[in-house]
Structure 1
């Protein structure tokens, strides 16, 4: 990283994952002879729904224990009592089940057997997992972000369009059944809406999801893409004609629509200071994590016109939605469903098993997110 490149602390973004360290992989490979019992995998949550053949293969190679749905205290008790034995891996195929034990913090992680070397889980975000502590305990954490990339990118496009074309205003007016509200929207929306074509879409985080959004926005709407990340993706920026912003301030001050597509690293990314850098009338879309935005600061920015419209799939205090934002006609709010599709769930299920098989075979995990910290514990 050059001297001009922002650090994760400067930008608010988490450090990028590093290449797989083969020395780490070799030290955590699970080997077993034909005379030894099969290594145990702990399956968290509901039954498999789609990838039955792959699950059958997993069961033939490893012994699968099930926790099903269990609360935090019962889960902790079961770990203390070694109810599932010395399992080598954990598998959570769905994001809405198998997580009843709450956040995976040091209290929970320290109860895991020393034999556990990998946790493969559904979903793209992992703010509910202390991945650094997992690494310190020799556990690789894998998410399933590639599986929901298409679904999240599609939802992001919907939210981008909604901010430019005042879709919430028109929708709410029509659904109200009030002819006066209908006439108001029908007669006045055209004066304040725009096509997204030619506008600057500033993407914070050009990972798989951010890049796919950029592809769709440039191909379908001829938007100009700017992006900020802790590393520069030159091949990606060339393919979509994107401009790399070395710091977040540059992106915020030049974008017509700011879109967040970066993991939550424990700190607010957009607060009062950052909103002051926005061009007057900028749109804001968040398909990442709600806690990236200071929602009260956003309310203020919308009241003074700094932010003209917002599209929010995620919220700071889910499942509760900020009423000051939800009631505004220039805000499209969703229920954290951008990645929710049958295709995503099939992919979550499959990729989790593929991570386990690849890792336990000594080939390395496919989508690890904490190798940088795991490496530090080995050095």
Structure 2
């Protein structure tokens, strides 16, 4: 990022009224007082205080007037928007996924209440199924996520789930933790007959984005797995990053019928990806890992596929009805379930916090070209 100071005009905003400069050696509080709000565009910081990137947050305060919403429910938030509590703000900043989202889904009801001045929403986390990014874009609002910040964490947990489907980790873990000698003995004596090493088997990845590509690299490097993938188009440059390359499958059916373990790394766009029809296509005795979104999988159909042996084992970090976990899946010894924690690490959260601010500062300097992780530019309507 350039070291030159961004101005509101760089983002296509009107010139601020002429005002005297703040006093020399003024404190941030003095600079951001109500009398100075007109000098700088306003950003609404949703949720808790930042925790790590304090120097960058100080820069955000130098370039923007920062208002705070803290945590408020949907009705209170709607009232605040109607009352224009934060004025004509140009952007929103949500640094954490577990705070600042208490108002619920960002649908047309909420988006329609935003001031016309609002042009950017920079938020933590990788997924954005809770945001109508198309409607935002049609209102001229850029939505930025923070997917790049949690890539390593998501991939590492995906590998644990992948290994679990090959090596029956839930069975072994629960038997040992039970304290029961008979359960321990049963696992110790019988697991070997149903488990396998992953090396030289075929890993099928649905969605060869950053996470999918990194997962392919680690699985091919550490476990010597062969990689096949399905996406909207082939990605030759990404294929070259993977040891041994990767085979593109033009249809999902081709991938499901041929691979030994399928990992979902694709966004949820409102439709179930794997239902009874698709599970019938899986190679007999193959495995499924989902670290994307729970609603991609028809869990009733997955239970049936497990009962029939079509799916030998599954690893699920995400679930269709979170925070409720399907009890038919949770009780199985061949299914590892975790609590949507694939991206949960200190490193991820440091990155979420930082990337949101970088998006806002980049936008202020260069408009949409200055954003670093926008996801809805293809629909963006601009004046």
Instruction: Give the secondary structure class of the aligned counterpart of 2:370.
Output: coil
Alignment of 1:365 onto 2:371 = yes
Q: CA-to-partner distance for each residue in 1:160-188, whole Å, 9 max, x for gaps?
A: 00000000000011111111111110001
| RMSD after superposition | 1.5
Q: How far apart are residue 32 of structure 1 and its match?
A: 4.1
8 A Cα contact 1:270 1:294, kept in partner: yes
Q: 1:182 aligns with which of 177, 181, 184?
A: 184
Distance in 1 (CA, whole Å) between partners of 2:215 and 2:12 is: 36
8 A Cα contact 1:58 1:353, kept in partner: yes
Q: 1:43 aligns with which of 42, 45, 52?
A: 45
Tell me which residue corresponds to 1:148.
Answer: 150
Distance in 2 (CA, whole Å) between partners of 1:165 and 1:178 is: 21
Distance in 1 (CA, whole Å) between partners of 2:43 and 2:313 is: 46
Matches within 5 A, 1:284-363: 284-362=288-366, 363=369
Q: How far apart are residue 232 of structure 1 and its match?
A: 1.6
Distance in 1 (CA, whole Å) between partners of 2:344 and 2:68 is: 25
Q: How far apart are residue 31 of structure 1 and its match?
A: 5.5
Distance in 2 (CA, whole Å) between partners of 1:31 and 1:334 is: 49
Q: 1:30 aligns with which of 13, 18, 22?
A: 13
Instruction: Give the secondary structure class of the aligned counterpart of 2:39.
Output: coil
Q: How far apart are residue 37 of structure 1 and its match?
A: 1.9
Tell me which residue corresponds to 1:73.
Answer: 75
8 A Cα contact 1:32 1:39, kept in partner: no
Matches within 5 A, 1:1-379: 29-30=12-13, 32-33=15-16, 35=19, 36-240=38-242, 241-362=245-366, 363-374=369-380, 377-378=381-382
8 A Cα contact 2:107 2:132, kept in partner: yes
Distance in 1 (CA, whole Å) between partners of 2:348 and 2:219 is: 21
Instruction: Give the secondary structure class of the aligned counterpart of 1:361.
Output: helix
Tell me the number of residue pairs that the alignment of Structure 1 and Structure 2 aligns: 353
Q: How far apart are residue 29 of structure 1 and its match?
A: 2.9
8 A Cα contact 1:32 1:38, kept in partner: no
8 A Cα contact 1:29 1:359, kept in partner: no
Instruction: Give the secondary structure class of the aligned counterpart of 2:262.
Output: strand
Q: How far apart are residue 378 of structure 1 and its match?
A: 4.7
Segment of structure 1 superposing worse, 135-144 or 364-373: 364-373
Distance in 2 (CA, whole Å) between partners of 1:156 and 1:116 is: 37
Greater RCO (Cα-Cα under 8 Å, separation 6 or more): 1
8 A Cα contact 2:260 2:286, kept in partner: yes
Distance in 1 (CA, whole Å) between partners of 2:237 and 2:63 is: 39
Gaps of 5+ in 2: 1-8, 20-37
Instruction: Give the secondary structure class of the aligned counterpart of 1:160.
Output: helix
Segment of structure 1 superposing worse, 226-235 or 216-225: 226-235
Distance in 1 (CA, whole Å) between partners of 2:117 and 2:215 is: 40
Instruction: Give the secondary structure class of the aligned counterpart of 2:344.
Output: coil
8 A Cα contact 1:30 1:361, kept in partner: no
8 A Cα contact 1:120 1:353, kept in partner: yes
Distance in 2 (CA, whole Å) between partners of 1:209 and 1:92 is: 22
Distance in 2 (CA, whole Å) between partners of 1:28 and 1:250 is: 46
8 A Cα contact 2:11 2:365, kept in partner: no
Q: How far apart are residue 27 of structure 1 and its match?
A: 9.6
8 A Cα contact 1:284 1:309, kept in partner: yes
Distance in 2 (CA, whole Å) between partners of 1:219 and 1:296 is: 35
